[in-house]
Structure 1
Amino acid sequence: MIQWRKSSRSQGAGECVEVSVNARQATLIRDSKDPSGPHLAFRHDDIAGLFARIKDGTLDL
Structure 2
Amino acid sequence: MEQIDNGVRATALSSVTWTKSSHSNATGNCVELAALPGGAVAIRNSRDPQGPVLIYTRDEVAAFVAGARAGDFDAVIG
Larger Rg: 2
Pair 1:33-2:47 in alignment: yes
Tell me whether 16-25 or 38-47 shows the greater mean CA deviation: 16-25
Q: Greater helix percent: which structure?
A: 2
Take 1:58 and 1:27, find their aligned partners in 2: how far apart are those partners?
A: 21
Aligned-residue CA RMSD in angstroms? 1.6
Compute the displacement of 1:54 (Å): 2.9
Number of positions where the alignment pairs a residue of Structure 1 with one of Structure 2: 61
Pair 1:12-2:26 in alignment: yes
Compute the displacement of 1:10 (Å): 1.4
After TM superposition, the score normalised by the length of structure 1 is: 0.80
Unpaired segments of 5 or more residues in structure 2?
1-14
Unpaired segments of 5 or more residues in structure 1?
none
Take 2:47 and 2:23, find their aligned partners in 1: how far apart are those partners?
A: 16
**1:2-33 CA distance string (max 9 Å, x none):** 21111122122111111111231111110011
* Identity rate, percent: 36
After TM superposition, the score normalised by the length of structure 2 is: 0.66
Which one has more relative contact order, counting CA pairs under 8 Å at least 6 apart? 2
